[in-house]
């Protein structure tokens, strides 16, 4: 499945390499600055050099640069990994769960270091932007263990949202899943993905988060994929996400 559109419109060379699924824009810029990319036979060292995808001949150190077939995978992210390819503090990243020889893939959205569960990767930035967009993207479902047992009044307040220093925070849906003597599990559904949204929403009510697991994106569930393992998405799973 090739999702790259060929047109005569000019774009920066680094952006084009990213759209072709060959590297992230940052990595593409590094290749260009290192002199490893040629356009129409000429070495180009300017990441913003304008090119026409599908018309100009783009070559890398490995020869002609052809768009890679669309690829998307799902990972059951373990707690304690940061969602980045490389970390300046040398922390373990989600890429430690993927094979070293896997073609370039970028995370579709993020899960913070303490969060777990379903994380998508793909090689098409436009598709990823559609999945993460509040306007076009599917809902994201989380199971959250909290350090208290909320009564009906607190659940109503949670559903109403809270005003914080950085703006108003709310969720599309919040439901009580189950509880024990001291702790409870909530199901929280978001239709947007603001930074640490669930944690900051609950902090607004003095509720601590013990675990936070993303269990589904749209109609795609995490299922029984083991922690730290990944697999490629099937066509019917991509259809679930695209339909949402």
Residue 218: count of CB within 10 angstroms of its CB: 17
Are 171 and 190 in contact, with CB atoms under 8 Å apart? yes
Nearest to 78 by CA among 238, 242, 240, 225: 225
Residues contacting residue 103 through CB under 8 Å, at least 6 positions apart? 21, 68, 71, 123
Which strands, in side-by-side order, build the sheet including 58-60?
42-43, 37-39, 58-60, 63-64
224, 227, 233, 234: CA torsion to nearest 10:
-30
Distance CA 213, CA 190 (A): 13
Distance CA 176, CA 144 (A): 10
State the SS3 of 188-223.
Answer: EEECCCCCCHHHHHHHCCCCCEEEEEEEEECCEECC
Choosing from 112, 124, 147, 191, the catalytic residue is 112
Is 112 part of the annotated catalytic residue set? Answer: yes
Q: SS3 for 103?
A: coil
What positions carry a catalytic annotation? 112
């Amino acid at each position: 499945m090739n999702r790259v559109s060929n047109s005569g419109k000019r774009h920066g060379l680094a952006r084009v390499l990213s759209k072709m699924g060959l590297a992230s824009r940052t990595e593409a810029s590094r290749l260009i600055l290192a002199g490893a990319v040629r356009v129409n036979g000429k070495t180009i060292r300017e990441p913003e050099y304008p090119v026409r995808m599908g018309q100009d001949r783009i070559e890398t150190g490995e020869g002609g640069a052809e768009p890679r077939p669309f690829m998307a995978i799902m990972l059951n992210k373990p707690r304690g990994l940061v969602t980045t390819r490389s970390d300046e503090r040398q922390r373990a990243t989600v890429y430690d769960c993927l094979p070293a020889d896997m073609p370039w893939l970028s995370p579709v959205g993020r899960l913070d270091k303490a969060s777990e569960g379903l994380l998508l990767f793909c090689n098409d930035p436009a598709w990823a932007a559609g999945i993460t967009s509040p306007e076009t993207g599917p809902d994201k479902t989380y199971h959250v263990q909290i350090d208290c047992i909320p009564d009906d009044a607190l659940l109503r307040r949670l559903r109403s949202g809270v005003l914080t220093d950085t703006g108003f925070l709310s969720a599309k849906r919040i439901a009580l899943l189950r509880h024990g003597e001291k702790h409870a599990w909530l199901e929280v559904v978001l239709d947007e993905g603001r930074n640490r949204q669930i944690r900051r929403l609950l902090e607004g009510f003095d509720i601590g988060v013990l675990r936070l697991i993303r269990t589904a994106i749209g109609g795609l569930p995490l299922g029984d994929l083991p922690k730290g393992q990944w697999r490629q998405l099937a066509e019917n799973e991509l259809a679930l996400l695209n339909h949402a």
